Amino acid sequence: MNILVTGGAGFIGSALCRYLVANPRNRVINLDKLTYAGNLASLRQIENFPNYRFVRADICDEAAVAGVLHSENIGRIMHLAAETHVDRSIDGPEAFIETNVLGTFRLLQTALQYWRELPEPAAEVFRFQHVSTDEVFGDLPFDDSAFNEATPYAPSSPYSASKAASDHLVRAWHHTFGLPVVLTNCSNNYGPFHFPEKLVPLVILNALDERPLPVYGTGANVRDWLYVDDHARALDLVAAQGAVGESYNIGGSSERTNLRVVETICDTLDRKRPRRNRKSYRDLITFVTDRPGHDRRYAMDTSKIEREFGWRPRESFETGLSRTIDWYLENDWWWRPIREGSYRGERLGSSVAA
Ligand code: NAD
């Protein structure tokens, strides 16, 4: 199977590329524009694999994408390229509309044209997989409710609105033009190679630097957390076995308040890398003004993917977090240039977004 991964130099995309190339029957073409969030260093361990290739291109560039689809004889598109940081979407929404909405539209048009020209049986097995977020469903109360695949969309932020728009476009290209699509909506991911503007790496690295650990509001907002390799495995399963036109929720069944996430990171670091002054890292927690429009709670009902494919996360939040912290402690070659470059983690608060 020749697979085009868009956004493969990002956090989840790079984990997905690493996962897919481990299967020698896959050939993976990673198409990425390399925005601030794209980092080829995340792909160092696979960059010389014979079944991996990187192409620098923008999903908005129809000619470039069409060229790759034809020259690489692509049988599956896994679409992850996006602007993803909620705080950035509040400061400057335009890039989110450009890539997430217009970019997805252009990619759909290019994919449709390509699919229509495919001979059978290649057209029959071709899939366009759209990777999306639980944030499209909006805000849940603090109870035991959860989003399922039929939950109506009610996005709150420019980021989630742009992802909701892209989900609608993907469904429309299926219903109207017959493009064989599958969709997934996933909760918050964490793991290695996560850009340090997001909550988990931001807190780990700020703690190691003895800097404040910013928490929005009172830290009571609840998110569900999934280890990134579990997401990659679920994406491959859905792409291979998901029913055309269907969407699947993916989640970790690990709801935590933001404050608890930060405290768990502090406690784990206290054990693994105690501070010189022997105080707990918890002393560095600093509550900051809440994000506007901050959704209270997200939670995923993942019974469909569990029932249909037997998928379950392999990592609990505690084991996944421990692995993640070990990775950041051992891999400063990856994150130090980012922290010492344009991004230092001074301005942004504790994002809990995708
Ligand atoms: P990321 O920000 O780490 O990476 C995004 C990648 O897309 C980067 O490599 C960037 O260079 C690339 N990109 C951006 N604009 C592009 C364009 N116009 N053309 C080509 N490439 C472009 O994002 P992530 O956290 O890895 O998320 C990947 C996908 O998964 C996104 O679609 C996101 O909405 C979705 N998602 C993320 C999470 C999460 O917790 N991170 C959860 C659910 C869903």
Give CA–CA dist 165/156, Å, rounded. 12
Q: What is the pLDDT of residue 342?
A: 61
In a domain, 269, yes or no: no
**What is the average pLDDT score of the chain?**
95
Q: Is 134 marked active-site?
A: yes
Q: What's the pLDDT band for 353 if we cut at 50, 70, 90?
A: very low
In a domain, 129, yes or no: yes
Q: Is the pLDDT of residue 101 over 60?
A: yes
Give the pLDDT mean for 146-172: 97
In a domain, 350, yes or no: no
Residue pair 132/166 in contact by the 8 Å Cβ criterion: yes
Q: Which residues line ligand 1 (CB under 6 A)?
A: 6-7, 9-13, 32-35, 37-38, 58-60, 80-84, 99, 103, 131-133, 163, 186, 188-189, 195, 354
Q: What is the CATH number of the domain that holds 135?
A: 3.40.50.720
Name which of 62-66, 122-126, 346-350 the model is least confident about: 346-350
**83 C-alpha to ligand 1 centroid (Å):** 6
Q: Is 94 marked active-site?
A: no
Q: What is the pLDDT of residue 340?
A: 85
Q: Which atom number of ligand 1 is nearest to the Cα of residue 8?
A: 9
Q: Is the pLDDT of residue 351 over 60?
A: no
Residue pair 68/102 in contact by the 8 Å Cβ criterion: no
Q: What is the pLDDT of residue 343?
A: 54
Q: What's the pLDDT band for 66 if we cut at 50, 70, 90?
A: very high
Higher-pLDDT residue of 34 and 352 is 34
**130 C-alpha to ligand 1 centroid (Å):** 11
Per-residue pLDDT of 226-254, as tens digits, reads 999 999 999 999 999 999 999 999 999 99
* Token duo for residue 63: 């000619």
Q: Is 117 marked active-site?
A: no
Give the pLDDT mean for 198-207: 96
Share of the chain above pLDDT 70, in %: 96
Catalytic residue, from 58, 135, 149, 224: name it.
135
In a domain, 32, yes or no: yes
Nearest to 287 by CA among 266, 258, 267: 258
DSSP 8-state symbol, 211: -
In a domain, 263, yes or no: no
DSSP characters over 321-345: HHHHHHHHHH-HHHHHHHHHTT--S
Give CA–CA dist 136/33, Å, rounded. 24
**14 C-alpha to ligand 1 centroid (Å):** 10
Total of domains in the chain:
1
In a domain, 68, yes or no: yes
Give the pLDDT mean for 276-301: 94
**93 C-alpha to ligand 1 centroid (Å):** 15
In a domain, 73, yes or no: yes
Q: Of the residues 17, 30, 35, 60, which should be mutated to test ligand 1's pocket, given the most ligand atoms within 8 Å of the CB?
A: 35
pTM, two decimal places: 0.96
Burial class (CB in 10 A: 0-12, 13-18, 19+), 142: exposed
In a domain, 161, yes or no: yes
Query: Domain of 17?
Result: 2-191+224-254
ipTM: 0.99
**121 C-alpha to ligand 1 centroid (Å):** 31
